[in-house]
Structure 1
Amino acid sequence: MTTRLCLDSRMSTGLLFGLRRTGVARAVERPGVRGALTATLRRVHLGGDGFAVRVDAIRGAPGRADGDAVPTERRVTYAVTGRGQSRATGLVAAHATRHILTGAARPGVRHLDEVDELLGLPESLGSEGLRLRRFRHDAIGPIPPAW
């Protein structure tokens, strides 16, 4: 699994990545620096409230380049977009909590994507302003739908 963070502007994303790579971001671990940075970020608001989450799921093998092997790879790509990422996170947490508290959850530890009863959750949150899109795939990669 790979997790990536992207901000509203390429410049902001590049700056954040550059600070991390140079080690300057480690200065945030110092209490004085952390407090000053937190106070500054409370006053400065960059970007908007829109967000996007993209998921790529791949199973199997892609076959050899010479074409001799039959590809068995299956892949699917989805994206969820909306406004208010914190609210969307809270909605997902509330649905998962309700699932557990009603006794519908099987015993054990699971990731949300492993709980079959919650697989339809992205579609059901459409009324909350979230939009689910499925990408088609070709030989090069995912083809985005008309946004």
Structure 2
Amino acid sequence: MTTAASRPSVLFVCVHNAGRSQMAAGYLESLGAGRIEVRSAGSEPADRLNPVAVEAMAEEGIDITASAPTVLTPDAVQASDVVITMGCGDACPIFPGKRYEDWSLEDPAGQGINAVRRIRDEIRSRVEALVAGLLDGQAPVQSSTITGPTDPPDRSSR
């Protein structure tokens, strides 16, 4: 169980761990900014990442090329607070005390970039909601983007 001093942990699971779960992990790494431990695995891992998923994530400024498909283990599930499955059926072991969610998402395998972009965008939306829920009450990470007024100040009244 997560304590105040520890980070929550999330495991994303899909069949091949080459597309959906890798995109979700990439988004969570980015949006969680080190405040959430991220894992991903597959029930039948592929040999390599889906190159179209890699391309779609690169368009978002997220590089997932260092990731590799990994086999799902009971230890990965046991070590996670939240387990999110994406089409892997009954392959995921169930442990008491874990939060499980099943995200019904289209498989990007064999899809073109436009279809993968739609899947990617749906994953981003879900990961944003997940981050908000997991980090509720935690101070936000400071952004490097400086925002200010969009219009220059009115100097005519001097």
Q: TM range, normalised to the smaller chain?
A: under 0.3
TM-score (norm 2): 0.23
Q: Which has the larger radius of gyration?
A: 1
The structure where helix makes up a greater share of residues is 1
The structure where strand makes up a greater share of residues is 1
Q: Which has the higher contact order (CA 8 A, sep 6+)?
A: 2
